Every structure is written in structure tokens, then in C-alpha cells.
Amino acid sequence: MIRFDYFRADNVADAIRAGTPNHAAFLAGGTNLIDLMKENVARPLELIDINRLPLRQVTELDGGGLRLGALVTNSETAYDKRIQARYPMLASAILAGASPQLRNAATNGGNINQRTRCYYFYDVDTPCNKRTPGQGCGAIGGFNRNHAVLGTSEHCIATHPSDMCVALAALEARVQVEGPEGERTIAFADYHRLPGDEPWRDTTLRPGEIVTAIDLPPEGFAANYTYLKLRDRRSYAFALVSVAVGLRLEDGRVAQARIAMGGVAHKPWRRAEAEEVLIGREPDDQVFAEVADALLAGAVGQPTNAFKIELGRRAVVRALRQAAAGTPQSQTDKRIR
């Protein structure tokens, strides 16, 4: 870890002022940033500790939604009674990720800003366009089991590692940010980027901007939802493929559908045309297969991750079945039904 200056910010304005230079970084729970600093992947010269900012509340929004403060921990969020009752898909996704210790430290703002766990990004002795622009990509043609099959570019095939973000994408959350030019709201679909020609940019956050809250809209799909996560071991591992589903059923037909996938792209993967396949239809495996085909159309595998395409297809069908039946995946009993 390189030597750095350390600041404790007492209010958002001070934090933004101190955090605007590109050699500064905000520190919240630290579960990802401190790790990246130990590996010399992140090398901030100034660390702005934002843990004292007043962003630790979950509050009701006018019109029925909930506002999650950026510094509320992942554990506090997942076990919040309102989240469990109204947004069980989000609680389930959070509890599918990391370990209890990490969830106790990790914050909501930090979760959506975490970096990829691509092995090449983490290993400074290998090339990575995300870490060092123009260096090349070690994962393309390398070992790429946890890499993307959708929305990749010739410069980067990294995946976004978050479980929580997959549920936030399905819920169409909104990210509240504040920066040198004031406050703005970013739709969740616009928050994370595909790698394109600038794989070093994970999000659309601008210099000095800080996430203050994540807003959940009123519809939480609490009756028909699931978060299904497939991984190399049953707990404490990143997703190979995951699927968040929220359905609203009326008279046995699908009135509204949200489907997001994790582990397959540089951001939570959604496609409007895949969700539209379900509208007005009775939920059955035939329809679910059409949805999976639409969601995964154009997927391209690498030598050691091509299995994700068929795995993803089957996971989408299984997750839709779980959601339609009102039998969501348990994050304790990991058997998949």
C-alpha cells in the first residue's frame, strides 16, 4: 500500500471539495478499496473518510418508495423490516453476496461503486485496459471463467461483481449523487457502463461526485420475485450467473416483468424486449424459454466461459418459474427447486 494523506470529512460539501482531485478517493466501508490499495491497483494520494457524513438512514419517500442512505451497511439494509416486507428481492440478493463480516462493513454506496474481480485487473503484473488504459486485456485469450459473455468490447470482458446491483437494476432504483456542480439523480440503468472504448470508466459518476442515497420506487414485486445465484461454491463466492426476477401477475397473466442478470456483463444485464415477451402471457416454460433467448441473444463466450450462455439460459427459465410460482430461492437452503 502506498503512503497517503487521510482526512475525516464532517459534511458532504467538505468531502466533495477534498475528494474532487483525481488523486483523491472516498473511503466508506473499505471492503473493496482497502483491498485494491493493498494490491497497488488503487493508489490514491489522499483518502477522504466519509463515514461521519449523515447518510446512515433508511427513510420513506413520498409516493411509497424507500430511500437507502449511502452509508447504511449492506447488512442493515438486508435485515431492515421494511426492505424484507416490501423489497424481499433486494434483501435476498444482498444476503446471497459476500460473507456476514463483509456485509456488516460494506455500505450501499460502496456496493454500487465496487470494482470488478477480474483476476487480471487485480494482478498489476498482467496487462489490463481497465487498470492501465492502452495496456491490453489479459482476460481475452486468458483464463476467463468469471468474465462477461454480453456487452463486451475488444478492450475488456470484465463483469460487475455485485449481487445487490442486480436486484437494484430489476427494481429500477435511482441513484442520488452530489458533486461540485450540485445534486442530480441517475437512473440505475444509466449508472453503470458497458466497457466500450473506455473500460476504465465503470460508472457515469463525475469527478468529485459522491453517492448520497439509493431510492427504491414503490413497486417491490414482493409477491412474485426471486434472486437465483449460481457459483462455484454454495456461499462466499461471486456469481457465475445470477438472475433477479420481479413479476406482477393479474388474472394468471403477467402484467409487469423485470429481469436482470449478474455475472454475464460489465453491468447488470437487462433488455426491454425480453421483458416484453412476458406481458399478457400466462407464465409457462415455453414463454420462459423465449424470454431467455431474447435476453441472451448475441452472447459470445470465451474458451473458459462459454458455458455461461447455456447456464444463463437455464437460470433465467428456473428463476422465472420460481418467481411465477411465488417460491423464491432461499439464501440459506441453497438447494435449487
Partner 1 sequence: MASQPIAELTPAELAQRPIAEIATHLKLNGEDRRLSIEPWTTLLDLLRDKLDLTGTKKGCDHGQCGACTVLIDGVRTNSCLKLAVTLDGREITTIEGLGQPGNLHPLQAAFVEHDAFQCGYCTSGQICSAQGLINEGHAHSRLEVREQMSGNICRCGAYTNIADAVLQVLGQEDRK
Q: Please give the biggest Cα pair distance in the chain.
A: 62
Nearest-approach distance from CB 3 to partner 1, in angstroms:
6
Q: Are 107 and 28 within 8 A, CB to CB?
A: yes
User: Parallel, antiparallel, or unpaired for β 66-69 and 210-216?
Assistant: antiparallel
Helices (H) then strands (E): counts for the chain? 13, 11
Look-up: residue for cell 411509497?
64
Give the span between the Cα atoms of 40 and 35, in whole angstroms.
9
- The one segment of 31-39, 191-199, 262-270, 302-310 that binds partner 1 by CB under 8 A: 31-39
Residue among 5, 190, 197, 284 that touches partner 1 (CB under 8 A): 5
Q: H-helix or E-strand containing 33? A: helix 33-38
Residue 79 in grid coordinates: 435485515
- To the nearest whole angstrom, how small is the minimum distance from the Cβ of residue 9 to partner 1? 12
d(CA 16, CA 18): 6
Q: How many residues bind partner 1 (CB under 8 A)?
A: 36
Task: Verify binding: residue 34, partner 1, rule CB under 8 A.
Answer: yes
DSSP label at 61? P
Residue 125 in contact with partner 1, rule: CB under 8 A: no
Rounded distance, CA 203 to CA 194, Å? Answer: 9
Q: Does 124 bind partner 1 (CB under 8 A)?
A: no
End-to-end CA distance of the chain: 45
327 part of the interface to partner 1, by CB under 8 A:
no
Q: For residue 301, what are the β-bridge partners?
A: none
Site string for partner 1, 210-249 (x = CB under 8 A): ------------------------xxx-------------
| SS3 state of residue 276 | helix
Judged by CB under 8 A, the residue of 10, 11, 23, 218 near partner 1 is 23
Q: Which residue in the set 4, 84, 194, 310 belongs to the binding site for partner 1 (CB under 8 A)? A: 4
Smaller CB separation from partner 1, 152 or 226:
226
Residue from 14, 17, 20, 49 touching partner 1 (CB under 8 A): that is 49
DSSP for 71-111, written as a single string = TSBHHHHHH-HHHHHH-HHHHHHHHTSS-HHHHHH-BHHHH
**Minimum CB separation from partner 1 for residue 308, in Å?**
23
Residue with cell 502506498: 2
35 is a contact residue toward partner 1 (CB under 8 A): yes
Residue 20 in contact with partner 1, rule: CB under 8 A: no
Of positions 11, 38, 133, 141, contacts partner 1 by CB under 8 A: 38
Q: Which three cell numbers stand for residue 150?
A: 454480453
Chosen residue from 9, 16, 19, 31 binding partner 1 by CB under 8 A:
31
Which C-beta is closer to partner 1: that of 45 or that of 85?
Answer: 45
Among the listed ranges 45-53, 142-150, 192-200, 241-249, the one in contact with partner 1 (CB under 8 A) is 45-53
**Which stretches of the chain bind partner 1, using CB under 8 A?**
1-6, 8, 21, 23, 27, 30-31, 34-35, 37-38, 45-47, 49, 51, 75, 79, 98-102, 104-105, 234-236, 331-333
